[in-house]
Structure 1
Amino acid sequence: MFAPEFPRAIVILFNWGFGFIVIVAVAQILLDAGTMMSSLLRPEGVNVGDGVRYALAGGASILAVVAVANAIRVPPIKDVEVEIAGLPKPFDGYRLLQLTDIHISRLFPQDWAQAMVERANASGADLMVITGDFIDGSVAMRRNDVAPLGDLHAPGGVYAIPGNHEYFFDYAGWIRHLTGLGIVMLRNEHAILNRDTSQLILAGVTDLSAPAHGQAGPDLAAALAGSPSGLPVILLDHEPRNARKAAAQGVALQLSGHTHGGMIIGLDHLVARGNAGFVSGRYDVAGMTLYVSNGTALWPGFALRLGRPSELTRITLRTKD
């Protein structure tokens, strides 16, 4: 699960090579399958010249370049509106910016993080939320690379939850370090958002992988304990798999990541199967809105995107009539 600590150029080249091999393999399989089908219809056979195979290799090379370029870019702002029943009028138009799966690493280093933070700060969001997977590497390895995250700011603050990758690298150390950067970590906890005299509940849970690392697993009941009744709840949950349970407990909006949107069209269907059918975008789950972001970045060991672009998601809340 850990990306190698090679120079960034080597990691980029590795991902290009991996993408080239995958695309060539898929193209070759499709070509051979098509040739076999054609042979059944034409007894004299079908001759596929070397030129066709060379063209496939050239096309795969170009697609691999595009896939890596899509993966490592600083993502644009994607606007999404969400209607919430019972949303207090002062929160109509309230904007949250969701960052997720940032995966600060050799592939997404300090310069990339700084450019991403500048774009996030320019979004005009009222609140920023980060739904896990900040890093790949230890605090000592990533200290300088994550430093720009301390510059994130919004009037309502910056709140976050851990993702599964935080548990792979000194979980306690990362929680202390991220908190020291001014990020409020919600680990089975909630915060009250205020606007004028109105309030919302922002809750966050830990990741499903936490118990395997000796940490408390996600507990929405604990996260909501002591919260005022009758207020809409926005939930931060790194993985979307428990969305139906959240809906049953009255959550109005769940924000998740983890899937990277499936990364490549076609592969997203397989990723969805491992995430209760949720992989990318908006879902209506028993009246609750679930939004699964494609991710701000992704794991540097598989940094390819085709048709599933990265995003900084600006979510505007609207009162539902």
Structure 2
Amino acid sequence: MALPSLLVIVQFLWSLPIALAAKVAVALLMLFASQFMLWSRLSSGSVFAPEFPRPIILLFNWAGGTILFLAALQLLLDVVMLGLWLGGSSAVVPLSVRWGMTAVAMILATVGVANAVRVPPVKDVGIAIPGLPAKFDGYTLLQLTDLHISRLFPASWTRHLVERANALDVDLIAITGDVIDGSLAMRREDVEPLRQLSARDGVHMSPGNHEYFLGYQEWMRHFTSMGMHILENAHVVLERMGHRLVLAGVTDRSAHATGMPPPDLAAALEAAPSGVPILLFDHQPGAARQAAARGVALQLSGHTHGGMMPGLDRLVALGNAGFVSGVYAVDGMTLYVNNGTGIWPGFAMRLGRPSELTRITLRRAS
């Protein structure tokens, strides 16, 4: 983040006709804002759990977004000016253009942060499953993922989310990881509203990478005490009048680095009934082809936050086997990559990649 700040300072700020003292002051503020990760680590010991008041976190994200957007606009302007110079023109950038760039960057950052922190609207998704038993035709799941409950998404936000989720009256609630940002001591009150989540077949969860960074075993015990069924390389069989559906979940790729069991789909499906459609929870979508090869019918993932905005989503795709947002057909399996219910407080920015409360209805494939 320091690099975009330096670009804006050198190429944009220094050319403005304002007092030198003002330039220095703004430059120092920009450099300070660019080091949000450092201040977060100093505040809590982890970049994943900034322990500042919510307005401060919002301000840091807005400032960081403004810097990034202004840096992108400055690069675009530089390209245009280079083209004019190569064409023999000696055009000077009007001051009004620079002030206009500032306004655009600030507005984009404001909209981006507002989109990121709202309680998401309901998104309905229908997915056809080959061989889906008749009694599960029309079965509804609510997928919650990447809540990142934190100082940015406190108990009040979680409470509103739970109220909206329960009002949907779904058959099952699927949580696919990254529920928290912070230790249990930090977040106990903020996650407490999740205890009220309700569905006919219960609340089932697979872990995400952030759980491993912030006291994994303690969190899993706590979530279990809240009534969640944790699927750690394991499965359950759902039954309706003799018709069955396998619900499986794997641990996250980050598990191995923390000394915990890595994802093991074979273990998750061991002794699962044959000929029964399999629904898999896997926080990260990158291993979708391996899941398809094991006969999984539907994989639910998150992790990517939908790429957050156009352009950046292409970078996110590089680390997730090209899977970023929405429905994918993967070797006969359906993969759904959720944009996320919340977002990591270290970069709370969404443009064109909205958060979602995702109600999935299963249908029998013709």
TM range (shorter): over 0.9
Q: Is 1:314 equivalent to 2:354 in the alignment? A: no
1:1-321 pair list within 5 angstroms: 1-41=47-87, 43-321=88-366
Inter-partner Cα distance in structure 2 for 1:204 and 1:316: 19
Using the size of structure 1 for normalisation, the TM-score is 0.98
Inter-partner Cα distance in structure 2 for 1:170 and 1:161: 15
The gaps in structure 2 that reach 5 residues or longer are: 1-46
- 1:144 Cα deviation from its structure 2 partner: 0.1
Structure ID, larger Rg: 2
- More helix, by proportion: 2
- Deviations for 1:97-126, whole angstroms, at most 9, x for unmatched residues? 100000000000000000011111112211
Inter-partner Cα distance in structure 1 for 2:89 and 2:319: 45
Partner of 2:253, secondary structure, is coil
Inter-partner Cα distance in structure 2 for 1:286 and 1:124: 32
Inter-partner Cα distance in structure 1 for 2:98 and 2:168: 46
Inter-partner Cα distance in structure 2 for 1:11 and 1:95: 35
**Which structure ranks higher in relative contact order (CA pairs < 8 Å, sequence separation ≥ 6)?**
1
Partner of 1:235, secondary structure, is strand
Tell me the residue number matched to 2:21: none
- Aligned AA for 2:104? G
Using the size of structure 2 for normalisation, the TM-score is 0.86
- Aligned AA for 2:125? V
- 1:39 Cα deviation from its structure 2 partner: 3.0
| Identical-residue share of aligned pairs (%) | 61
Q: CA RMSD in A?
A: 0.8
Partner of 1:11, secondary structure, is helix
- 1:196 Cα deviation from its structure 2 partner: 2.6
Inter-partner Cα distance in structure 2 for 1:254 and 1:4: 31
Inter-partner Cα distance in structure 1 for 2:192 and 2:175: 15
The gaps in structure 1 that reach 5 residues or longer are: none
Following TM superposition, the consecutive aligned residue runs of length 4 or more in structure 1 with deviations greater than 6 angstroms are none
Inter-partner Cα distance in structure 2 for 1:193 and 1:303: 36
Inter-partner Cα distance in structure 2 for 1:214 and 1:111: 34
- Aligned AA for 1:279? V
